[in-house]
Structure 1
Amino acid sequence: MSTLTLTLGRPTLADKLFSRSLTTDIVLVTAGAALTAVAAQLAIPLQPVPITMQTLAVLLVGSTLGATRGALSMVLYAVLGLVGLPVYSDATSGPAVLFGSTGGYIVGFIFAAALIGWLAQRNWDKKFLGAALSFLGGTVVTFVFGLAGLALVSGAGLEQVLQWGLYPFILGGVIKAAIAAAIIPSTWKLASWLETRRK
């Protein structure tokens, strides 16, 4: 008998730790949005785009939850901020943020989590190199949407948009991808070790 679930396809790290069910999926999606909201408050204020830890949260959420739940978690995060909860960076919210200079990055989180989750469901996240490549790919997706949104909102030229929305964040993006690539495969190993201890 199959259990109703939001996720399809191969299991992810979350499925290794928790049994699949609709209730579990809802809790995990909500927890992913909450983690992203908390990480968004850990920021270095820059204009027009601050440096935050929410991109690290996106990498971890996408990899842990998989494509569907990861993307839904980021959709929930975006919607919570849109309706007024102070979940965006610097405890901001509302349409002015989502449709402002940083809105493209928030939209990019959805597609980044989906890509990373899809790759995780193909076991890219079980070893450091695969995880790192997956997370770098997700980071690139976030930047593509973020830069497009920034260009659209600001009306600035390409070089100015890159100076505002890419150059200050390259090193941080690589570091966050490396951190996530160290955390996720290690957690897989720990989960496997705990499973063998229980048997």
Structure 2
Amino acid sequence: MPEKQGYSVKKMVYAALFAALTGIGSWIAIPLPYVSVTLQTLFTILSGAVLGPYFGALSMIVYVLLGLIGLPVFSRGQSGLGVLFGQSGGYLIGFILAAIAIGLIVRMKEKPGYWWYCLALTIGILIIDVCGVIQLSIVTGLPIDKAILVGALVFVPTDILKVLIGAYIAKRIKV
């Protein structure tokens, strides 16, 4: 039993670390009209790939809660409930769901290879984008095709880069 507790404590520390890294990643932003390009997504997909579904999701829940209580951890240094219900709030919900999905997909293989990580991380990015685009469309009143363009397609080049880098890192980190 002590070994399992130590393992859980270690994972909780890593979950806190990924929550912090995601917050720091939000400050590194390229502003766009509706949603900024940040490093949040990289740390989100890494949390699921490295920590698994439970602790990956826990790290993203902690991250979102930190922002909700007022710490400036969301994109452009924002915080508060208004962000969660604003035009970019769907991405925050997507972070949690993506971490779960990525963790589950990675867990399907005993020894996931680089391309398996790429697949898992790509699915995670798609989950984030779907959640984000839906809320962006609802909150702003943008037609769904326009919301897809400004809320997902503009990120494709950076998302591909994040998936490739994330898969490389995730394959090498053992938690």
1:157 and 2:134 equivalent? no
Percentage of identical aligned residues: 36
Report the TM-score when normalising by structure 2.
0.92
1:85 and 2:71 equivalent? yes
Contact 2:106/2:116 (8 A) holds in 1: no
Which runs of no fewer than 5 residues in structure 2 stay unpaired?
A: none
Contact 1:34/1:77 (8 A) holds in 2: yes
What is aligned with 1:8? none
- Cα distance in 1, alignment partners of residues 109 and 102 from structure 2: 10
RMSD: 1.8
Q: Alpha-carbon deviation of 1:186?
A: 3.2
Question: Deviations for 1:76-126, whole angstroms, at most 9, x for unmatched residues?
Answer: 111110110000111110112111111000110000000111122233773
Q: Could you say which structure has the larger radius of gyration?
A: 1
The DSSP-based 3-state class of the residue aligned with 1:20 is: helix
Question: Deviations for 1:130-157, whole angstroms, at most 9, x for unmatched residues?
Answer: 0100100100010110011111111111
- Cα distance in 1, alignment partners of residues 103 and 126 from structure 2: 15
Which amino acid letter does the alignment assign opposite residue 20 of structure 1?
A: Y
1:144 to 130, 154, 158: 130
1:98 to 76, 84, 94: 84
Which runs of no fewer than 5 residues in structure 1 stay unpaired?
A: 6-18, 192-199
Contact 2:68/2:81 (8 A) holds in 1: yes
The DSSP-based 3-state class of the residue aligned with 2:7 is: coil
1:103–1:128 CA distance, 2 compared to 1 (3 A) = same
Equivalent residue pairs, number: 175
What is aligned with 1:42? 28
Report the TM-score when normalising by structure 1.
0.82
The equivalences for 1:186-197 within 5 A come to 186-187=172-173
